[in-house]
Amino acid sequence: MIFVTVGTHEQPFDRLVRGIDRLKEGNLIREEVFIQSGYSLYRPKFCEWAKFLRFSEVMSKMEGANIIISHAGPATIMLALYLGKTPLVMPREKKYNEHVDNHQVCFCKKLEEEGKVIAAYTVAEMGDRIQRYQGAAKNLEIKKVRHHQRVDIATFVEILDSTCQKLTQKG
């Protein structure tokens, strides 16, 4: 199963939701897909979906997913990494009115450079990344925190802070 989440930001992310639905329609995605669509206006026709899920439902979907596809929200990415999964990330972009600025693009590029995520910036790239996901995920050197290990809030904040500091460093 592929789990897609756009988070809870109030601007629609139709580009991702519609794109995944079209990939499913065209049989480029053959497995089951569940989309958490948030404030997106597009309603999937070929994928199961819900606007919002409780945290326990998100956890359950992520744990059961072969691929987690998400926006470039730090909390969602860190949760996927915590579960030992390599997220496939499409950042929201200002030019499509998906966010107020391009901080998700910058964040995603930094994590991609560090080998923590697989990134797709267009729907065409997303289709390619899904097709090649298993091999790409195996090739990444990710420090995975196993599900059975306890990660407390302080550790999460430390990792997030470190990543944000690296992102904002010049040079």
Kindly list the domain boundaries of the chain, sorted by start residue.
2-168
Question: Can you name the CATH fold of 2-168?
Answer: Rossmann fold (3.40.50)
Q: pLDDT value at position 142?
A: 43
- Over pLDDT 70: what percentage of the chain? 89
Strands 2-5, 67-70: pairing is parallel
More confident residue, 26 or 139: 26
Structure confidence by residue, pLDDT tens digits, 24-71: 999 999 999 999 999 999 999 999 999 999 999 999 999 999 999 999
Quick: pLDDT tens for 86-136: 999 999 999 999 999 999 999 999 999 888 999 999 999 999 999 999 988
Which pLDDT value is given to residue 19? Answer: 98
Residue in the block written with tokens 């206006």: 41
User: Dmax of the chain from CA atoms?
Assistant: 45
- The bridge status of strand 118-119 relative to strand 88-89 is parallel
Q: What is the pLDDT of residue 165?
A: 77
pLDDT grade, residue 3 (50/70/90)? very high
Quick one: 102 exposed, middle or buried, by C-beta within 10 A (0-12, 13-18, 19+)?
middle
Quick one: how far is CA 119 from the chain centroid? Answer: 9
Indicate the residue type of 171.
G
pLDDT at position 154: 63
Q: How far apart are CA 115 and CA 33, in angstroms?
A: 25
pLDDT at 159: 74
pTM for this one? Answer: 0.81
